[in-house]
Amino acid sequence: MEYRRARLKWNGWGWAERAFDLQGREDGLWRFLQTELGLDSLPLTPAASIDDLTLPEPALSSSQRAALSAAVGAEWTCTDRYERVFHAVGRSYWDLLRLRAGELDAAPDAVVYPDSTAALSAIVAWASAEGVALVPYGGGSSVVGAVEALREGHSAVVTVDMARMDKVLSIDPVSMTATAQAGIYGPVLEAKLQAEGLTLGHYPQSFEFSTLGGWIAARGSGQLSYRYGAAAELFAGGTLVTPQGPLSLDAHPNSAAGPDLRHLVAGSEGTLGIIAEATVRLHTAPAARDYRGFLFPDFASGAEVVRQLVQEGVEVAMLRLSDADETYFLGQQRSFGRPEGWLQRTTRGALGLVGGGRRPCLLLVGLEGTAASVSAARVAVARVAMGAGGLPAGAAPGKSWLASRFEMPYLRDAMLDHGLGAGTLETATSWARLPDLHRTLQKRLADSIRQVVDRGEGAPIVMAHISHAYRDGASLYFTFVFPVAHRGARAQWRIIQREAVEAVLAGGGTLSHHHGVGRDLRGWLVAEKGPLGVSVLRAAKQALDPTSILNPGKLLPGKAD
C-alpha cells in the first residue's frame, strides 16, 4: 500500500519528514508575527510525545477481533497505539490542540483496512449485528471533526480506513468516466488518469492526503472547480454499503426518475453508508495552462471583476481574490531574508497608482484547456480586470501559487510550535450579501479573539479570500492568527468558533462551503436547514442505518445540541 501511515504525522499535517519551507526566513517571520500581534515574545510550545497519551484498553473482545480479522486479515486489524492515535481525530485546529497536549477524549478500539466491497460489506454487517460504531476514514484531513472516533453509546468504535481500496476499476474514454474504489488518494487517481490523457481536475488543498470517497462524502470543492466541477458534480454514481444492504446508484448522465439520490450521498459524511466505489466524470487533460495575477485597490473592485467574469461565462479554471490583509500577509511571509520579489515590486508600484499607504488586493487567475481557449480567456480576463482598474502583476504570482498551493497547512504546525493558533472558517453567500458578510465576519472574528486572548496587545490577524464563485454568489474563506491562551486553549477556540458561526448565519451565509459539517458544526444544522429539513435527513438515516452505527455524532444534531 503506497500511503502507509508511518510516513504521515500523527499530530500534525502531512508527511512526517516535511515542514513548511521558510528557506532561512524563520527569524524574520516570527518577528513579524510577534510585532503584528503585540507580543513580548513567542514561547516554544513543543507537542507532547505519542507515549504521553493515555488510551483506554481496546473494548473489543477476542471473538470480535477474530471476526474482524476474518473479514480483512489479521495484519489489517490494528489495535496498536500508533494506529489508534493516528485515527482518533482529524486535522482541525481543535484536533491538533488535543493531540499536541496529549489529551484525547476518544480513540478507536480498532482500525481495519478492507480491500474490497465484499470485505467492507462484511464489516458493516458485523458491526450492525454487534452494535459497534463504525467511522469511515479516507485521508483523515477533515477540519470539522468528521472522522473523530466517537462511540455515542455503542459498545465500541472501529475506524474503517479505506486506504487499501485504491484501485481504478475502469476508464471509459468514450463516455469520459472512470470508476474507482473510494479509498484511492488524489495523486494516485490523477496519475492514472493523466497517463490516459484525462483528468478529474479535483485539487482541494488536502489533495495529497484525501481520497475520492472523502471528497464525495464531504461534498468538497477543488481549487479548479470553476472548470472541472465540485465533487458532487463529478460524482456520476457508485455503490454505498449500508447496514441495510448495498445502495447502487447508476451512472446515468441525467434522470427525471424522482429525486437524485446521488445528492443524498454527496455530503452525507459517512452517516448513511460507506462509499465503496464511485464513477466520476472526466475531462481531457489540459494542453495549455496560464496562471497570473492582478492587483486591485480594494476588495470590492476585485470582487466585482470575479462576479463579472463568472456571469459572462469566461472559461476560467480558478479565481482567487485575497483581501488586503491576506495579500499583505502572503507578501510578508514570502519576503523575509530575500531580495525584493515580484509582490513587493508590484505592490510598491501599485501603491503609487492607488494612492497613499493603502494595501492592494491580489486576484489570482488560472486558465486551463486548449491553447486556443486559454488564449481567448486570457484576453477576456485582461479586458474585464483592467477595465475595472486592475493592474497586471504578471505570471510570477500565479507560478508561485501553483508551486506552493498544498504547502500552507504545514505553516499552521510551525505556528503551534510558537504558541500561535491558526484557525479557518469558510462559507458562501449571494453576491448582494457578500460585501457586508466579509466586513461583518472580519470584525466579529477580530472582536471575539481580542476578548479571549490572555497576552498580546496588537490586533489579531484576520484575512480572507474568495476561493470559489458562481453566477449567484461566492465563497469566503477566512484564516485568522492569534496567541493561544496559556490556559484554557480549548475554551478560547470554542468561543471564537461560536461567534464566527453565529455571524455567518446572521449574515445569510451557509455553515460550510466545502469542509462539511462533522461534529463541530452539527449543532447549527437546524438553523440552516430548519426542523423539517433535518427530519428528512433523519428519515434517510433511519432507513439506511436504523441503529445509528455509522459515524455517530456527526452531521445530524444530537439531543445536547
Q: What is the pLDDT of residues 407-436, one digit of tens each?
A: 999 999 999 999 999 999 999 999 999 999
CA dihedral 333, 336, 338, 339 (to 10 degrees): 90
DSSP letter for 45, please: -
Query: Which strand (E) or helix (H) includes residue 436?
Result: helix 434-452
pLDDT higher than 90, residue 1: no
- Separation between Cα atoms, residue 354 and residue 359, nearest integer Å: 9
Residue 464 pLDDT > 80: yes
Which three cell numbers mark 514?
466545502
The yes-or-no verdict on residue 343 having pLDDT over 60 is no
Q: Round to whole Å and give the CA distance between 512 and 144.
A: 10
Burial label for 21, CB within 10 Å (0-12, 13-18, 19+), is exposed
pLDDT of 337 over the 50 cut: no
Q: Based on the number of CB atoms within 10 Å of its own CB, is 376 exposed (0-12), middle (13-18) or buried (19 or more)?
A: middle
Q: Which domains does the chain have, with CATH numbers?
A: 38-161 (3.30.43.10), 168-283 (3.30.465.10), 288-405 (3.40.462.40), 409-506 (3.30.300.330)
**DSSP states along 370-434:** -HHHHHHHHHHHHHHHHHTT-EEEESHHHHHHHHHTTTHHHHHHHHHTTTEEEEEEEEEEETTTH
Is 50 exceeded by the pLDDT of residue 228? yes
Pairing of strands 110-112, 157-161: parallel
pLDDT band at 355 (very low <50, low <70, confident <90, very high): very low
pLDDT of 351 higher than 60 = no
Of the candidates 15, 25, 35, the residue with the CA atom closest to the CA atom of residue 481: 35
Give mean pLDDT, residues 87-94.
Answer: 96
Instruction: Please report, to the nearest 10 degrees, the dihedral formed by the alpha carbons of residues 504, 507, 512, 517 taken in order.
Output: 60
Answer for the pair 289, 378: CB distance below 8 angstroms, yes or no: no
Q: With 70 as the cut, is the pLDDT of residue 93 above it?
A: yes
Beta-bridged to residue 361, according to DSSP, are: 296
Residue 349: partners with Cβ closer than 8 Å, 6 or more residues away: 391
How far apart are alpha carbons 18 and 403 in whole angstroms? 15
Residue 547 pLDDT: 97
- Do the beta carbons of residue 37 and residue 460 sit within 8 Å? yes
pTM here? 0.94
State the Cα–Cα distance between residues 98 and 80, nearest whole angstrom. 19
Residue 268 contacts residue 555 (beta carbons within 8 Å):
yes
How many Cβ atoms from other residues are within 10 Å of residue 531's Cβ? 8
Q: What is the mean pLDDT of the chain?
A: 93
Q: Are 12 and 96 in contact (CB under 8 A)?
A: yes
Lowest mean pLDDT among 131-145, 325-339, 383-397, 504-518: 325-339
Question: What 3-state class would DSSP assign to 214?
Answer: helix
Percentage above 70 pLDDT, the chain: 93
pLDDT tens string 388-403 = 999 999 999 999 999 9
| Cα distance between residue 256 and residue 258, in whole Å | 6
- 3-class DSSP assignment, residue 363: strand
Q: How many Cβ atoms are within 10 Å of 126's Cβ, its own excluded? A: 17
